[in-house]
Structure 1
Amino acid sequence: MLRTMFILIALAHFLYGIYYDLSYVVFPKGFFSEASSNLGRWKFLTFWNMILQAVYFTVCLANDFLGSNEVNPKKVPFIRKLKDYMYCSVAFPVAMFVGLTFWGLMAIDRELVFPKALDPYFPGWLNHVMHTNIMIFTVIEMLVTFRQYPTRSKGLAGLTGFMCIYLVWTHVIYFKSGEWVYPVLDVLNWGQRVVFFVALLMLGNILYIAGEFLNNTVWAKELTARQGGSGRKKAH
């Protein structure tokens, strides 16, 4: 019951953030180029992540009622497999990636990622919903719900695929509008951008491995019991 309440709170939190951003955050005409403005929030990884987290916690809610949170069920329902894979491959690493890169760049020079000119139109609490709370909720979710990570190759394939799709999207936006989604890309030449993108992909992989390590540490006893149960089933 407590886990379900947490999931409902997290889901409501992300849905309200998305609703408020779409309904009440309005930038003055001419603030962005027309081509860039037409893409709305969909050009930002932060918004992609908000949608991702909302979808993930919806799957979590469905699993609570239709699936199973047991450590070692006789048959793992599809909704449980989907939930676990989503969390491991994208929900955790992307949430941490968005939060850490945003606040890291803010600490270096906020004009590179969130210029002061945005402050009158984008409330501070919504900024924390999108860039701080995402990390808090995803860590809590790891602590309250058991999961077994997939093979590393499968998990990293999902994460790398997601990040590459967004990377292609940023270039589509640039070639259509002449603007980079994030100001930091304006101060880099093409060689530096390639290095920057590779570094970001590596960071995503590191965060995946960190999530795997943290999960396996938190749930070490349960994972051992699950593996033991699987071994007995095979022997039987």
Structure 2
Amino acid sequence: MAAVLRAFHFVVATLYLFVFWYDLNFVDVPMMQFKKDMKFFKGRLKFLTIWNLILQAVFFTICVINDVIGTNEDAPKKTPFIRRIKDLILTCLAFPLSMFVGLTFWCIYFVDRELIFPRALDKFFPVWLNHAMHTNIMIFILIELYTSYRKYPSRKFGMSVLSVFMLIYLIWIHIIHAYSGAWVYPILDVLNLPLRIVFFVGLFGLTLSLYLLGEKLNGVLWSKRLHIAKKR
């Protein structure tokens, strides 16, 4: 099992790094680039999907490092620093953010894909790349949740870290709008100010709910196994 877990972490980390490299080097979508746009990373950092992709690549790379110099024991007597970092990133950011990106993307996509991923993008954006960024992120993080125990921080701390992260991104997309005159996501073009506020508040609530979901799933999956491990 340990060898399989190490292989899983290595393959996923490599995949995310490859996806990020491929996107930067082989995907050019004119409609995704504003007249006034950021020069670095081809303007990709305006999308939460890319923020999440980078976060997942960093997280699974830390998992690989933890496999080598840390520990994946359910209840180690002394938790290595790299393991504590791994657990903190997954609980506060990696799980809720990957689920948020995947769920919001596909929900809006199935309601009206033109609001999130217009059909015109299909000729520039490979299907496998879309799934790597918006589907696999949920599958892989759920596998990680099932195969590795992590200690959640206090709810106040964890939700505060996630809230600050999302607030920073919210401010970021408004800075981009002020600079370029365009919204990052087409759906924001069809919402007036009151509806945008409701939309953002709803998404913020969803994000915090996903944090609580991860905490709950972790407890359900690992409470019995952790109890047995402590007895040993």
1:99-146 Cα distance to aligned partner (Å, 9 max, x none): 000000001100100111111111111000000000000000011111
Root mean square deviation of aligned Cα:
1.6
- Among residues 170, 173, 176, which one is paired with 1:170 in the alignment? 173
Partner of 1:232: none
Q: Is the 8 A contact 2:75 2:226 kept in 1?
A: no
Q: 1:94 to 1:31 in 2, by over 3 A?
A: closer
- Take 2:171 and 2:77, find their aligned partners in 1: how far apart are those partners? 41
1:31-61 Cα distance to aligned partner (Å, 9 max, x none): 6432136461110000110000000001111
Q: Give the length in aligned residue pairs.
A: 228
- TM-aligned CA deviation for residue 228 of structure 1: 7.0
Q: Is the 8 A contact 1:216 1:223 kept in 2?
A: no
- Among residues 114, 117, 122, which one is paired with 2:125 in the alignment? 122
- Take 2:227 and 2:201, find their aligned partners in 1: how far apart are those partners? 36
Partner of 1:210: 213
- TM-aligned CA deviation for residue 69 of structure 1: 1.3
Q: Secondary structure at the match of 1:10?
A: helix
Correspondence list, 1:154-165, <5 A: 154-165=157-168
Q: 1:66 to 1:27 in 2, by over 3 A?
A: same
Letter in 2 for 1:182: Y
- Among residues 19, 25, 28, which one is paired with 1:26 in the alignment? 28
Letter in 1 for 2:118: P
- TM-aligned CA deviation for residue 158 of structure 1: 1.2
Gaps of 5+ in 1: 230-236
Letter in 1 for 2:113: R
> What TM-score, normalized to structure 1?
0.92
- Take 1:31 and 1:95, find their aligned partners in 2: how far apart are those partners? 22
Residue 91 of structure 2 is aligned to residue 88 of structure 1:
yes
- Take 1:174 and 1:214, find their aligned partners in 2: how far apart are those partners? 37
Residue 85 of structure 2 is aligned to residue 79 of structure 1:
no
- Take 2:68 and 2:32, find their aligned partners in 1: how far apart are those partners? 45
- Take 2:32 and 2:55, find their aligned partners in 1: how far apart are those partners? 27
- Take 1:31 and 1:3, find their aligned partners in 2: how far apart are those partners? 37
Q: Is the 8 A contact 1:170 1:180 kept in 2?
A: yes
- Take 1:4 and 1:43, find their aligned partners in 2: how far apart are those partners? 32
Letter in 1 for 2:98: A
- Take 1:72 and 1:219, find their aligned partners in 2: how far apart are those partners? 11
1:146-179 Cα distance to aligned partner (Å, 9 max, x none): 1121111111111111111111100000000000
Letter in 2 for 1:6: F
Q: Is the 8 A contact 2:101 2:134 kept in 1?
A: yes
Residue 116 of structure 2 is aligned to residue 113 of structure 1:
yes
Gaps of 5+ in 2: none
Partner of 2:150: 147
- Take 2:226 and 2:115, find their aligned partners in 1: how far apart are those partners? 42
